[in-house]
A and B are shown apart, each in its own frame.
Chain A
């Protein structure tokens, strides 16, 4: 054996070695900008706005959609033409208010960059902490999440979120909309004690009023600063500077708030400040749907896979809430809390379908309506001409775990790698056990 390693085993060994390196290194390549004009033909297109185009065609170039329709021969100059017969084409799901890229392992503090010290930190930016190399990101892509609004969580004013595509070499490269919203944690009206297995009865937070006053004071001063800084030559205040966009309409205000009364109070306070908030979490939104409609306040529901807030509520309340809001005409999106958990975003929306939502409405709640809430509906959220070519092909119903199976995904027109660490480890151990798939 000393010198006698034959050619065939050598090649075999090399192949195996190559394979192992590929597996172990986790070196997934970010995509390069779309080169060629491309077309996907014969797909069942879920537009994202409620429509379905049977046997549809999408043509896209330089990251933008040029054509959507039923003409399989449109743009014959498109070099790459993919026949997607029998498959479904969806706009990329949009994860709102997530910690992806800021959190890697929940209980390892060194891997967490989502909660800063201090109460009022509007100037913090998730933008520059966003880790494009997080191993979580490819696992989200694998399940159709192609865009995310990455938001901070700490303090009272947590900082600013940015919207990223789920692919890229670095944050500068991955960002789609920088510093687009300020995040505020509304004071808790009720204190909730205990832990999940033994939640305690809530009790009124007697600091609520004081916390609210402090918060309103900060906003008022920020506005006064905005109005008077030039004229009065005020010293630069980084916090207030960061909030400027709120007063000019360039930034949105996302407020984490859940209780009905607190939500109404939040809307009123914001109104007095000349702001229109996006209510995030909004567990009780179903109770005040008419109010939200009347004030045209958008809502991001956090997880339909939650327990009802109160013992006496409908056991399926959280599944039913979206249909109630839909019926009332409230603009809302469905989100999924956490970071790695975002891979289940589609199922949060899917579960509402047995509870009053139609399939396309549920899809809209994680695509076009999410984009509307971000104010980016002209750019993303649906498969329509002129928008970003960010979409994926699934062999089955992507809102149902029974059907969801991505075969291709495109982010700004570029095909993105659908491999991830989990698939790699799966392959590795299939190899160990000789399991074939």
Chain B
């Protein structure tokens, strides 16, 4: 009876679709059939909201909304009754991050690259990556196939947006039904979407992640300024839309975990709350997410099983990726455990079917069902402010719900129907009689066992036969009618048709010779859960074995290293102070600081770790004045002559393995510099190599602000064949400085005379203004004497001094002038001949500069060399004959002075930070290597521990690879490893190459 009722009902629905709902303004071609349907669903197991237990209940639906929920509801006279006895009803799911119904993205390549100007028409702002005018409601089109895919997963409402640009304009909240666009829209302007990807913009700027961040920052300021100006000089629709968007919820899409921290930083700076469409890597540092109270929209994208049979190919897969494969399904569970608020999204999954299989994996890995359901219903509704309308089953809310044949999270459960705005859409369909199982097929005199399974909406039959000759059966069941084909041992085909009599199918077979034969299919024994479901369980039974490591890469540690009080006994101590080199001396480290230096120091307390340093050398931690490690996605913002607004501090990559490798070479502090692509580059960041910390924690507290300048061949773009960007000569370089400093001077004067509130805050000029105000300091990439001299003269005209010339390979030619000006030099020890402007670079440069009284350092500018700066320092002895004591200062105290951090680091002195290296022999010798490296008294590197960490890496790799092979043997599909992370970056970001190092050990 029920089946008939349902099919009739479905038929009605088909008829009714397209005619439904109140079409208030749209003309209609034909006679109207107003849809006033009312449905009473009875005997459901109703889960009205995520926390509730199933309650047997009826549900009354009229005009797309829930009218009543309760037991034994009175049937309105016009109601169609649908008995759903045995089925579960859940609130319809909501996906907050989707691009459903949006047009395809414009192809940026088609527009060509290298555009300085915007290409959009209209009164919009200057940058094409800011698509604030983009209104998803105006772009939305109902796409039946995509809508069906949404409903198949139970999604009834999706927040869809155009995923193009840094500001992507507003999303729109739509139903996943098949109606007309205007019927399917619930909120025209739902949320403001942002990202770090410039999308289809063909404009150069921003060419790096830090540029994208700078652009967002400037846009917040511009928006506020635009709003505050009573009579603006210009009309700027982009900013007007931007300001309107500020009233909506803000959804920020990030590509990895560090991006999430970065977006969070912007949110804090501008008093925003971002809902972050995250990456799925959040489990890698849940404590931090908890601390920043992240609100996440979490994807369920889990990596496939990798192919690892070939050990040499498997070696290309990093531990990070192996562990991610293993831990990704645990991400939601770990977030839940840490009390982090999150919704779930199907975004990022290629195949819609992955959503439920992955969600079940996540539940198997420990995610509670309640929390999972919440993440799909009440929480997204609450975040969008539509709790009164959606997210749970209650009178007055939209009739959006999901009917299933069992508990939602059990493997065998299917979504039968998804109701959207009061309309039913079949998914698996009601299937009152389940025909799966084992049957006895009687076919004339033949008799055999047959397994019938259901995959998706189809039944499949498999003949169980010991005979090697294949006998096959294909069947199709529609309600109570079966048709099919039977191929016998001789490969003759018979056509079958049968009706259902009780539980037995009875019918006739049309044989290959035209004769007919009766056949029956009689149920034999029932079948248990299918193999594929078992596999899912196997795959996620992994909870106990893995560990989070900090950072989430090789040489990460499961426990962050702790600070200990240490007494170094009997070391040769290179103080880098006037005390010089102290033989057989002790250094006491207390609470991260150097407490005392002396001979035979008393053991202060029994907790203090005593390190016997007899025969060993203790030096200050080495400092690299010029480094480009630990920077995410773009060292250069190459696009304009000045990009003073970009900040390396925004894009510190705390997971870069080079941090650990350099600790292993005794490095403790580095200045991360912008590249040398433009005369005025970005602001640098000074970090301590606190391996395992977050980017913010790595920053050197309270350090002065520095900025990268660059001269010569790189900024005039000599590496390329044709340059279109001013300047193209050293003459032009000078004038860029004259122009910017003149403008910055005026900017400061304007602020003084008009007040900050009446001046557009310009982050570019602000940073340059800070130089004029002696609050920000220049590190200038420089080679030949003419340009070095030029910049000093420019600085003198504007009454400041150049803090540091870096590279400065012809510094020896103007050392006297540098001394007079007060500039320091940070040089390569012995590089030359890699470009024309270094053809007269000499390794004696450091010695000459030093002897002329210039504060001189040797730097790396190279991830490899920074592992052995002690050897570079030794070259100041070899070339120019400096004392070894002075030479070591080239990589300790002197760079500390250049970076204005010598009050904290750079020498071994009471009260300074315990940033120390214990060398196994003379620190300037090529034979020497660190036994341990301390930052703030914390041992971040220990040569003994290094070996055990490496063994752990190998053991962990082997364990995961074993697990992968076992899974593969059990039939789980594998695919070759492809790194996701970089690729994401490539699509949207211009990558600039720094010509400086071409042909110089380039990798």
Secondary structure at the B interface, as helix, strand, loop or mixed, is loop
Instruction: Decide if B657 touches A340 in the complex (CB within 8 Å).
Output: no
Q: How far is the CA of A28 from the CA of B993 in the complex (A)?
A: 38
A315-B661, A344-B830, A433-B815 given; A196·B863 CB < 8 A:
yes
Taking CB atoms, residues of chain B closer than 8 Å to A197 are 628-629, 631, 635, 675, 863, 994
- Does B337 make an interface contact (CB < 8 A)? no
Instruction: Decide if A107 touches B832 in the complex (CB within 8 Å).
Output: no
Q: How far is the CA of A315 from the CA of B868 in the complex (A)?
A: 13
- Does B453 make an interface contact (CB < 8 A)? no
Chain B nearest CB from A42 CB (Å) reads: 24
Instruction: Decide if B852 touches A433 in the complex (CB within 8 Å).
Output: yes
Q: How far is the CA of A42 from the CA of B660 in the complex (A)?
A: 46
Taking CB atoms, residues of chain B closer than 8 Å to A310 are 315-316, 318
Q: Which of A201, A261, A307, A402 contacts B979 (CB 8 A)?
A: A201
Please tell me which stretch of B145-153, B599-607, B906-914, B995-1003 contacts chain A, meaning at least 4 of its Cβ atoms lie within 8 angstroms of it. B995-1003
Interface string of B877-908 (1 = CB under 8 A from A): 11111001000000000000000000000000
Nearest residue (CB) in A for B843 is A422
Instruction: Decide if B875 touches A401 in the complex (CB within 8 Å).
Output: yes
A105-B834, A196-B1002, A422-B842 given; A401·B877 CB < 8 A:
yes
- Does B589 make an interface contact (CB < 8 A)? no
Q: Which of B312, B554, B1003 contacts A261 (CB 8 A)?
A: B312
A196-B863, A201-B982 given; A106·B999 CB < 8 A:
yes
Chain A nearest CB from B831 CB (Å) reads: 8
Chain A nearest CB from B650 CB (Å) reads: 16
Chain A nearest CB from B638 CB (Å) reads: 13
- Does B839 make an interface contact (CB < 8 A)? yes
- Does B436 make an interface contact (CB < 8 A)? no
Interface string of A258-287 (1 = CB under 8 A from B): 011100000000000000000000000001
A107-B713, A433-B852 given; A315·B946 CB < 8 A:
yes
Instruction: Decide if A307 touches B658 in the complex (CB within 8 Å).
Output: yes
Instruction: Decide if B836 touches A196 in the complex (CB within 8 Å).
Output: no
Q: How far is the CA of A404 from the CA of B836 in the complex (A)?
A: 28
Q: How far is the CA of A192 from the CA of B657 in the complex (A)?
A: 17
Q: How far is the CA of A28 from the CA of B838 in the complex (A)?
A: 21
Interface string of A193-233 (1 = CB under 8 A from B): 11111111111100000000000000000000000000000
Instruction: Decide if B874 touches A401 in the complex (CB within 8 Å).
Output: yes
A107-B999, A197-B628 given; A354·B976 CB < 8 A:
no
Q: B residues 823-847 with Cβ under 8 Å of A?
A: 830, 832-836, 839-840, 842-844
- Does A347 make an interface contact (CB < 8 A)? yes
- Does A405 make an interface contact (CB < 8 A)? yes
Instruction: Provide a sorted-by-A list of 18 A–B residue pairs whose CB atoms are within 8 angstroms.
Output: A105-B836, A195-B994, A196-B863, A197-B675, A200-B979, A202-B316, A203-B979, A261-B312, A307-B661, A315-B555, A337-B1001, A338-B1000, A350-B927, A353-B926, A355-B929, A401-B878, A426-B812, A433-B815
- Does B640 make an interface contact (CB < 8 A)? no
Number of interface residues of A (CB under 8 A): 66
Taking CB atoms, residues of chain B closer than 8 Å to A190 are 316
Chain A nearest CB from B958 CB (Å) reads: 11
Instruction: Decide if A106 touches B864 in the complex (CB within 8 Å).
Output: no
Instruction: Decide if A347 touches B926 in the complex (CB within 8 Å).
Output: yes
Q: How far is the CA of A308 from the CA of B852 in the complex (A)?
A: 39
- Does A425 make an interface contact (CB < 8 A)? yes
Q: Which of B832, B848, B994 contacts A429 (CB 8 A)?
A: B848
Q: How far is the CA of A287 from the CA of B312 in the complex (A)?
A: 9
- Does A253 make an interface contact (CB < 8 A)? no
- Does B718 make an interface contact (CB < 8 A)? yes
Nearest residue (CB) in A for B1000 is A106
- Does A306 make an interface contact (CB < 8 A)? yes
Q: Which of B844, B864, B921, B929 contacts A422 (CB 8 A)?
A: B844
Interface residues of B (CB under 8 A from A): 310, 312-313, 315-316, 318-320, 553-555, 628-629, 631, 633-635, 657-658, 660-661, 664, 675, 713, 718-719, 812-813, 815-816, 830, 832-836, 839-840, 842-844, 848, 851-852, 862-865, 868, 871, 874-875, 877-881, 884, 920-922, 924-929, 946, 950, 953-954, 957, 976, 978-979, 981-982, 991, 993-995, 997-1003
Nearest residue (CB) in A for B819 is A433
Instruction: Decide if A107 touches B830 in the complex (CB within 8 Å).
Output: no
Q: How far is the CA of A399 from the CA of B925 in the complex (A)?
A: 10
Instruction: Decide if B877 touches A402 in the complex (CB within 8 Å).
Output: yes
Taking CB atoms, residues of chain A closer than 8 Å to B835 are 105-108
Instruction: Decide if B816 touches A305 in the complex (CB within 8 Å).
Output: no
Instruction: Decide if B843 touches A312 in the complex (CB within 8 Å).
Output: no
Q: Which of A287, A421, A430 contacts B848 (CB 8 A)?
A: A430
Instruction: Decide if A402 touches B925 in the complex (CB within 8 Å).
Output: yes
Chain B nearest CB from A201 CB (Å) reads: 4
Secondary structure at the A interface, as helix, strand, loop or mixed, is loop
Taking CB atoms, residues of chain A closer than 8 Å to B865 are 305
Taking CB atoms, residues of chain A closer than 8 Å to B874 are 400-402
- Does A339 make an interface contact (CB < 8 A)? yes
Taking CB atoms, residues of chain A closer than 8 Å to B922 are 402
Q: How far is the CA of A78 from the CA of B999 in the complex (A)?
A: 47
Q: Which of B657, B844, B925 contacts A426 (CB 8 A)?
A: B844
Taking CB atoms, residues of chain A closer than 8 Å to B878 are 401-402, 404-405
Nearest residue (CB) in B for A303 is B1001
| Residue of A199, A202, A338, A400 with most chain B CB atoms under a 10 A cut-off | A400
Nearest residue (CB) in B for A263 is B312
Instruction: Decide if A107 touches B925 in the complex (CB within 8 Å).
Output: no
Taking CB atoms, residues of chain B closer than 8 Å to A199 are 1003
Instruction: Decide if A107 touches B863 in the complex (CB within 8 Å).
Output: no
Instruction: Decide if B664 touches A315 in the complex (CB within 8 Å).
Output: yes
Q: How far is the CA of A245 from the CA of B884 in the complex (A)?
A: 51
Q: A residues 301-351 with Cβ under 8 Å of B?
A: 303, 305-308, 310-316, 337-341, 343-344, 347, 350-351
- Does A25 make an interface contact (CB < 8 A)? no
Instruction: Decide if B554 touches A311 in the complex (CB within 8 Å).
Output: yes
Chain B nearest CB from A203 CB (Å) reads: 7
Instruction: Decide if A343 touches B830 in the complex (CB within 8 Å).
Output: yes
Nearest residue (CB) in B for A396 is B878
Taking CB atoms, residues of chain B closer than 8 Å to A351 are 868, 871, 926-927
- Does A435 make an interface contact (CB < 8 A)? yes
Taking CB atoms, residues of chain A closer than 8 Å to B851 are 433, 435
| Residue of B312, B848, B864 with most chain A CB atoms under a 10 A cut-off | B312
Chain B nearest CB from A202 CB (Å) reads: 6
Instruction: Decide if A311 touches B946 in the complex (CB within 8 Å).
Output: no
Known: A201-B979, A426-B844. 10 other contacts (CB 8 A): A106-B834, A197-B629, A200-B979, A201-B318, A261-B312, A307-B864, A316-B929, A402-B878, A402-B924, A429-B815
Nearest residue (CB) in B for A306 is B864
- Does A437 make an interface contact (CB < 8 A)? yes
Q: Which of B832, B868, B998 contacts A340 (CB 8 A)?
A: B832
Chain B nearest CB from A393 CB (Å) reads: 16
- Does A369 make an interface contact (CB < 8 A)? no
- The 10 residue pairs across chains A and B that have the minimum distance between CB atoms: A106-B999, A201-B979, A350-B926, A107-B835, A426-B844, A197-B628, A261-B312, A422-B842, A340-B833, A401-B874
Taking CB atoms, residues of chain B closer than 8 Å to A314 are 946, 950
Instruction: Decide if B833 touches A105 in the complex (CB within 8 Å).
Output: yes
A315-B555, A426-B844 given; A339·B880 CB < 8 A:
no
Taking CB atoms, residues of chain A closer than 8 Å to B816 are 433
Q: Which of A103, A315, A400 contacts B660 (CB 8 A)?
A: A315
Q: Which of A192, A287, A355 contacts B1003 (CB 8 A)?
A: A192
